[in-house]
A and B are shown apart, each in its own frame.
Chain A
């Protein structure tokens, strides 16, 4: 089983839709969690960290479920500019290495 797994998509959604991505991780010692966004042929950029209690940044909400070992990202009121690949990133406790998921591709359609 891969350490970090994501549904690769693509998710094709109309503008204004709400879309949710899940990411599962296999190592229960995982400590820190992030969502990164990567545009086509660009570098990944930090979208948001994921707090234990869940956190929100504008239209984006991230949640962590330690018992079931998954994190989620909810995007409300999708914009065309949200079209990108969303990468789930996990940091194991005591390690400086981060493990990246393969990414979920989102296409927001007019």
Chain B
């Protein structure tokens, strides 16, 4: 089982508020990711990091930002939430699996609703 934790699990917040979704992993993985997924739809990579002080934008454009000051911590921030940001946000980390590239592990997700 993966040791990757996300908080809050569920958040309902008003338009214009600033929010930070927390993600921590205790596995010492260098690589971490944020995915966005609407119910019944595909996963979209919005941010990733290969290590401390390394962050990159993913395939799907997002108004969120991330930081990676410590290996175990990869928070995602929305400066001004909008209803269009309503979605599930999944944090993940990966380790190289010998001979099998990267095996990725997911947190339980943060469900964000902006009203």
A, B bound = yes
> Chain A residues in contact with chain B, CB under 8 A?
31-32, 34, 41-46, 49, 87, 89, 91, 93, 96-98, 100-103
Contact of B102 among A42, A45, A87, A91 (CB under 8 A): A91
- The count of A-to-B residue pairs whose CB atoms sit within 8 angstroms is 48
A89 and B33 alpha carbons, distance in the complex (Å) = 15
Contact of A100 among B42, B102, B108 (CB under 8 A): B42
Contact present for B45 and A49 (CB under 8 Å): no
B74 lies within 8 A of chain A by Cβ: no
A96 and B94 alpha carbons, distance in the complex (Å) = 9
> Chain B residues in contact with chain A, CB under 8 A?
31, 39, 41-43, 45, 48, 50, 88, 90, 94, 97, 100-109
Contact present for A97 and B106 (CB under 8 Å): no
A-B contact pairs, 14 of them (CB 8 A): A32-B97, A32-B100, A32-B102, A34-B103, A43-B109, A44-B43, A46-B105, A87-B43, A91-B102, A93-B101, A96-B50, A97-B48, A98-B101, A98-B102
Smallest CB separation, B29 vs chain A (Å):
11
Chain B residues within an 8 Å CB radius of A34: 100, 103
A105, closest chain B residue (CB): B40
Smallest CB separation, A24 vs chain B (Å):
16
Chain A residues within an 8 Å CB radius of B108: 42-43
Contact present for A102 and B42 (CB under 8 Å): yes
Smallest CB separation, A25 vs chain B (Å):
13
A89 and B100 alpha carbons, distance in the complex (Å) = 12
Most buried by A among B31, B48, B106, B109: B106
Most buried by A among B41, B50, B100: B100
